[in-house]
Amino acid sequence: MNIEYLNGSLEITGVELDPQLTLMDSAQVFHWSRIDDIFYGTVCGRRAKLTPLPDGFRLDGVAEKDITFWRHYFDLDRDYRAVMESCKQYPHAYRAMQLLPGMRVLNQPAWEATIAFILSANNNVARIRQLVGKLIGLCGENGGIPSPEQLGQIDEATLRGIGCGYRAPFLVKTTKCVLDGLDLDTLRSLPYDEAHKRLLLLPGVGDKVADCIQLFGLGQGEAFPVDVWVERLMVRWFLPDAHGKKEIRAKAQEMFGVNAGIIQQSLFHCARLSLISLE
């Protein structure tokens, strides 16, 4: 992998990273937009324009002090080939990673992942995108997910007004928890189980959303979100006798360890895109 920085542009080449797959199709992040194969997004107030290249991408609008930030966001320092090799004893997992070589798991800010995945519950990807976009539209025009302070200014009725539905009070209450002093980033250094328990205290956060926050927002690779798709594919491909999402998650963590989350992401997409048949 090669990284070059010049005049606000960060060029990353020699890396398997498919922006369409990771930013738009992956259902791990919902607020990047694509216009004519160029991607626009704002993360923690840093607005960037991403242009795909044949073997990587270029990021424009990058301040020199933010090079490390973006490098971490796109998880550039991880050897995905090694992750793939780590699951070679599980042919379906290995195959899933082979089929999606450009797949990566982004390191999002904990707060942004929390808001996005509370909105994701019992919702489809197209609508999650739309909803996150409307939420962003409520707070200025920098294009990023509102900060806790910004969201704290918005009442439940307004959130219902943009289509949040019954998730509106979850957003309000969780925002209040954070404004009252809960520091999501401190969960990063806690063991998986402990961070999970604390996340469950937030309104609108159950097992699945907590795992998404841990995987996408806290850098905890043992997290293994189990939704209906993952439940089905795990039973079909790995655990024919398992029943219940909790058991599936525990067994997957035993099998895949700290790479469980990355492998889950590949399995999930292979199933969703029908790259591997569930029958």
- Residue ranges that bind DNA, judged by CB under 7 A: 26-28, 120-128, 130, 160, 163-166, 170, 200, 202-210, 212, 225-230, 244, 246, 264-265, 268
Q: Show the CA angle centred on residue 196, arms to residues 191 and 198, nearest 5°.
A: 100
Q: How far is the CB of 65 from DNA (least distance, A)?
A: 30
| Six token digits for residue 55 | 């073997």
Please identify, using beta-carbon distances, which residue of 84 and 106 lies nearer to DNA: 106
Please identify, using beta-carbon distances, which residue of 21 and 67 lies nearer to DNA: 21
Catalytic residue among 65, 88, 173, 208: 208
Whole-number Å distance between alpha carbons of 70 and 73: 5
Q: Show the CA angle centred on residue 103, arms to residues 221 and 30, nearest 5°.
A: 80
Please identify, using beta-carbon distances, which residue of 16 and 156 lies nearer to DNA: 156
Q: How far is CA 74 from CA 65, 175, 219, 243, in A?
A: 16, 26, 12, 35
Task: Please list, residue by residue across 199-219, b when 16 or more beta carbons sit within 10 angstroms of its beta carbon and e when fewer do.
Answer: beebebbeebbbbbbbbbbbb
Q: How far is the CB of 200 from DNA (least distance, A)?
A: 7
Neighbour count for residue 253 (Cβ, 10 Å): 18
Give the torsion through C-alpha atoms of 279, 222, 39, 53, to 10 deg. Answer: -80
Q: How far is the CB of 64 from DNA (least distance, A)?
A: 32
Q: How far is the CB of 207 from DNA (least distance, A)?
A: 5
Sheet with 46-53, side-by-side order of all strands: 2-6, 9-13, 56-60, 46-53, 38-43, 33-35
Whole-number Å distance between alpha carbons of 209 and 213: 6
| Six token digits for residue 178 | 């954070």
208 is catalytic: yes
Please identify, using beta-carbon distances, which residue of 57 and 117 lies nearer to DNA: 117
> Are the C-beta atoms of 57 and 46 separated by less than 8 Å?
no
H/E segment holding residue 51: strand 46-53
Q: How far is the CB of 162 from DNA (least distance, A)?
A: 8
Q: How far is the CB of 15 from DNA (least distance, A)?
A: 21
Neighbour count for residue 157 (Cβ, 10 Å): 8
Report, as residue numbers or ranges, the catalytic residues.
208
